[in-house]
Amino acid sequence: MRVELINTGSELLLGRVLNTHQQWIGQQLAGVGYELAIQQTIPDTESSIEVAVSEAIERSELVIVTGGLGPTGDDMTRQRIAELLEVSLVDHQETRDRIISHFQKRNRPMPESVMVQAQVLEGSTVLPNEYGTAPGLAVSTSKGWLILLPGPPRELRPMYTAYVAPFLAKELPPRRKMVTRTIKTMGIGESTVEELISQELSEFLAQGLEVGYCARVGEVDVRMVAYGSSGPRLIKESETIVRQCLKEYVFGADEDRLEDFIVCGLIERNQTLVVAESCTGGYLSHRITNVSGSSAVFPAGHCVYSNESKESILGVSKIALEKGAVSQSVAREMADRVRLLHKADYALATTGIAGPTGGTEEKPVGTVYIGISTAQGTRVIKECNRCDRETFKYVTSQQALNLLRREWYKKARH
Amino acid sequence: MRVELINTGSELLLGRVLNTHQQWIGQQLAGVGYELAIQQTIPDTESSIEVAVSEAIERSELVIVTGGLGPTGDDMTRQRIAELLEVSLVDHQETRDRIISHFQKRNRPMPESVMVQAQVLEGSTVLPNEYGTAPGLAVSTSKGWLILLPGPPRELRPMYTAYVAPFLAKELPPRRKMVTRTIKTMGIGESTVEELISQELSEFLAQGLEVGYCARVGEVDVRMVAYGSSGPRLIKESETIVRQCLKEYVFGADEDRLEDFIVCGLIERNQTLVVAESCTGGYLSHRITNVSGSSAVFPAGHCVYSNESKESILGVSKIALEKGAVSQSVAREMADRVRLLHKADYALATTGIAGPTGGTEEKPVGTVYIGISTAQGTRVIKECNRCDRETFKYVTSQQALNLLRREWYKKARH
């Protein structure tokens, strides 16, 4: 079964907005065994929509189109597709009522123009929008189904989950089972990963296992895909081998993020973590608190950006700060002090030069000291992360969380 | 001139990785007047690469392909395109030397497989990779140029800036000037924005101005595009009108983020801001410290996630906390106390229920109190942001920063 995704929106092509639909919808589809054959982004012009959609419905059983269903003048997907399929647009009373109630609930005036969104393709299945005004539409085509969804992710995602997924399971169930598994590693290069596992996997590759590698910032993903009834077994056995070959470099699988691993590990151990951040500026706290349930194991994080706050809040010594806030001794004191301040089991601390300015010959932009404090002692590592400010914060926070992960790994081996 | 972007990578279609190339390359192109006609993502298979690239080079003057240049078995772009264009792959000594030095500098063993990256298309222009091993390649086609770039963003971006942009300016300068400008608004709906400005812009629309609207989480963008020699004037005059019509709802333009506006405003006023976060969990600090220069105006931020830390660090009263940490009085005390603690000019505080668990009938998931404290007094607003955990943090931080923005706006009007 061929599946295509078409994202409409000139703002996407001009780079004004990041296209997150491809990733999110790709994940939803792959999770139940549909494979996206191609994704396209096209401008909000009538001719682009016509060309892309007419080609796609000719060659694919399932075509999902996002965007262009809103109330403004540049929203022309609904109208254009009605013309293309030669069906009329008809007023949909239930949608009309929903739109009125949407504005009433928010106590906002309702502009006349919004009612264009109550026009639906005749004969289509209307997919209600619980977080906005434009409904989605499912239209039957000669080969299968064309699904139109609104552009804003916070409208599209709940609509997909509540209405599109069950609709597809019923009307267009995937023909071939697909199983995917991604093993996530840190601290090892892409070529080395392949060298360590490809020989060991050769038997499974011969049986149809597909393996791909993806180098990300500070991480390498090993992606495995298998089909049919032997798929689950192939994936399971391959995963065991990959984990055996890559040992401590593996930190998770699929959607796992390092912060999930850390928070789950803390919950399991019934221990707590606090952080004191300078150069990561709150990002470490942000990543930890992105994990639901973190409040039980993360009492506090301090972004002590100025020297005064390092001293007044944590009690870092003036002498150490005067010698240089970006230093091994300040990282050590930050980690120690913040752990004692909250009587926590672990503390992480970061101090460095995120850039783009502030570097010196001795300590160039990217220099960072990362400390970990536990009841057993304190350890500081020095790294040099030469990249833009936001990537710097990401890589540094990753290295910090990895210090705690390796602490646990070491302990488990003893 | 027609320009296309092709992103290869099954990991993108499976949703394992977010495709950020479309946005970033789209911005680079638009900034100098190239308009992306279409972007496609295709799998790492030989046939997909062949079909997409051969169609694209037939119809477009500039085709940019990302990904598939790495050292692992699923990297087949280079080989496939050599076959498609019927040119040989030849060894490139300079690249070979660069790869060797890349591994030497990092003190890492060099797997044999990496040397496939020193194979380049005969007659192509080699674009050096200063942050990785696979070079980019520019190949002449019957209509113009085909540019192959490595997939990892931190390799692709510096390569684009240093080599691709100057190469295009020389070999394929844009034929028609394009000017774009995006005005960013908050606190107003998409339809209302259009209602307020479309009539006022009609004269410019008749002269060729194109206007698009994009509803984002808590924001609406007004995107204007104009072409040719009158473009700059059209955009300038339209921007004046849009700003007049939308008044305080406008918070910036183009790449401006609310945090840039806030940090610049603080620097101009020579004032400081501190934050005390509960439900936003460090995200407010993270956004502020993403702005280079923020260290001069942002001494500290505290993520006081537990009740104990709200009390011990900030001195929030036990009585208020016992009545409920998610409350107007706790938000007020947090804002007041953190401002006094650091003798700052402004303080922002958040306390709420990010979800997905923790809601009650009286205070459902999404409930949040946001406080702002200034020398003139303290104000707390209540919002209900019903969305996933990370969107909740974003919207809440946006509302918090907006409180300070409106404080300044009010003052300026008096």
Please tell me whether residues A182 and A60 are part of one structural domain.
no
For residue A209, what pLDDT is reported? Answer: 95
Look up residue B232 and give its two tokens.
């700059």
Question: Domain holding A202: CATH number?
Answer: 3.30.70.2860
Per-residue tokens: B49: 């690469």
In a 13 Å sphere around the CA of A328, the CA atoms on its Cβ side amount to 6
Q: Which H helix or E strand runs over B389?
A: helix B389-413
On the 0-12 / 13-18 / 19+ scale of CB atoms within 10 A, A375 is: exposed
Q: How many CA atoms lie within 13 A of B239 on its CB side?
A: 20
Query: What's the confidence (pLDDT) of residue B386?
Result: 82
Tell me phi and psi for residue B393, to 5 degrees: -65, -40
Between CA B251 and CA B259 the distance in angstroms is 10
* pLDDT digit string, tens, across residues A262-310: 999 999 999 999 999 999 999 999 999 999 999 999 999 999 999 999 9
Contact at CB, A73 and B194, closer than 8 angstroms: yes
Decide which of A195, A229, A253 is a domain's last residue: A253
What is the DSSP secondary structure assignment for residue A207, as one 8-state letter?
T
Residues A102 and A137 in one domain: yes
What average pLDDT does the segment A70-85 reach? 89
* H or E element in which residue A312 lies: none
Same domain, A291 and A264: yes
Distance CA A409, CA B369 (A): 40
Best A6, A22, A108, A211 residue to mutate vs chain B (most B CBs within 10 Å) = A22
CB contact under 8 A, A299 and B289: no
Q: Average of pLDDT values for A396-409?
A: 94
**CB of B309 within 8 A of CB of B355?**
no
Chain A residues 13-72 with a CB less than 8 Å from chain B: 13-20, 22-30, 35-44, 48, 52, 70-72
Identify the pLDDT of residue B13. Answer: 94
Is A305 in Cβ contact with B299 (below 8 Å)? yes
**Burial level of A61, CB count in 10 A (0-12/13-18/19+)?**
middle
Work out the end-to-end distance of chain A between its first and last CA atoms, rounded to an integer number of angstroms.
51
Q: What is the biggest distance separating any 2 CA atoms in chain B, rounded to whole angstroms? A: 78
Dist CA A96 CA A184 (whole Å) = 47
CA distance A25 to B35: 26
Into how many domains does chain A fold?
3
Is B178 in contact with B35 (CB distance < 8 Å)?
Answer: yes
What Å distances lie between residue A100 and A95, A150, B197, B320, B386, CA to CA?
9, 18, 23, 40, 20
Radius of gyration of chain A (CA): 26
Mapped onto helix, strand or coil, the DSSP state of residue B82 is helix
Distance from CA of A338 to the nearest CA of B (A): 11
Residue B256 confidence (pLDDT)? 87
In chain A, residues with a C-beta closer than 8 Å to the C-beta of B19 are 19, 22-23
Q: Is A351 on the interface with B (CB under 8 A)?
A: no
- Over its C-alpha atoms, chain B yields an Rg (Å, rounded) of 26
List all residues 6 or more positions away from A58 whose beta carbon is below 8 Å from its beta carbon: A143
Distance between first and last Cα of chain B: 51
Question: What is the nearest CA distance from A327 to chain B, expressed in angstroms?
Answer: 18
Query: What pLDDT score does A46 carry?
Result: 87
Whole-angstrom CA distances from B310 to A275, A300, B399 are 15, 9, 21
Calpha distance A75→B218 (Å, rounded): 19
Contact between A402 and A187 under an 8 Å Cβ cutoff? The reply is: yes
**What's the CA gap between B89 and B195, in Å, rounded?**
58
B191 with B320, same domain: the answer is no
A194 in B contact zone (CB under 8 Å): yes
> What six digits make up the tokens of B303?
């993520």
Rounded to whole angstroms, what are the CA distances from B24 to A14, A356, B60, B74?
9, 19, 20, 24
Helices (H), B3-108: 10-13, 21-31, 46-59, 77-85, 93-106
pLDDT-derived band at A102 (thresholds 50, 70, 90) equals confident
The residue with tokens 């390359």 is B25
Q: Which pLDDT value is given to residue B105? A: 77
Nearest-CA distance A45 → chain B (Å): 11
Tell me the per-residue pLDDT of A201-241, one tens digit each, with 9 for 90 and over: 999 999 999 998 888 887 899 999 999 899 999 999 999 99
Interface of A with B in 226-255 (CB under 8 A): none
Reply yes or no on whether the pLDDT at A149 is more than 80: yes
Mutate to test the interface with A, among B7, B10, B44, B66 (most CBs of A within 10 A): B10
Provide the β-strand partners of residue B223: B182, B212
- Closest to A299 (Cβ–Cβ): which among B27, B154, B305? B305
Give me the mean pLDDT over the A342-367 stretch.
93
Does B313 lie in the same domain as B211? Answer: no
Residues of chain A above pLDDT 70, percent: 100
Q: Are residues A332 and A223 in the same domain?
A: no
Contact B227, B35 (CB under 8 A): no
List CB contacts of B137: < 8 A, sequence separation 6 or more: B78, B120, B121, B124, B125, B126, B127, B147, B148
Q: What is the pLDDT of residue A104?
A: 84
Q: How many CB atoms lie within 10 A of CB B362?
A: 8
Reported as a single tens digit per residue, the pLDDT across A161-189 is 999 999 999 999 988 888 889 999 998 88
Residues in chain B predicted with pLDDT less than 70, given as ranges, are: none
Q: How far is A16 from chain B (nearest CA, A)?
A: 7
Judge if A152 and A233 occupy the same domain: no
Tell me the sheet residues that pair with B181: B224
Query: In the 8-state DSSP scheme, what is residue A112?
Result: G
**Tokens of residue B77, six digits:** 């772009």
Q: B358 with B279: CB under 8 angstroms?
A: no
Lookup: tokens for A324: 């240089």
pLDDT of residue B214: 84
A26 to B12: CB separation less than 8 angstroms, yes or no = yes
Dihedral of CA B321/B326/B331/B334: which sign?
Answer: positive
**Which domain covers residue A32, as residue numbers?**
3-171
Of A253, A287, A317, the one marking the end of a domain is A253
Give the CATH number, domain containing residue B147: 3.40.980.10
Residue type, A278: S
| Interatomic CA distance for residues A138 and A149, integer angstroms | 9
* Same-domain status, A202 and A295: no
Alpha-carbon distances of A176 from A33, A146, A180, B131, rounded to whole Å:
7, 20, 13, 41
ipTM: 0.81
Q: How many CA atoms, within 13 angstroms, populate the side-chain half-sphere of residue B96?
A: 9
Contact criterion met (CB < 8 Å) for A74 and B36: no
Three-state secondary structure call for residue B371: strand
Do A138 and A152 share a domain, yes or no?
Answer: yes
Chain B contacts in chain A segment 322-341 (CB below 8 A): 341
The residue among B171, B201, B236 that closes a domain is B171
- For residue B300, list its beta bridge partners: A304
Nearest CA-CA partner of B66 in B145, B141, B155, B1: B155
CA distance A140 to chain B (A): 24
Is B194's CB within 8 Å of A313's CB?
A: no
Q: Which residue of B10, B194, B306 is in closest CB contact with A299? A: B306
In this prediction the pTM is: 0.81
| One domain, residues A112 and A183 | no
Task: Note whether B223 and B272 are same-domain residues.
Answer: no
- Same domain? For A26 and A90 the reply is yes
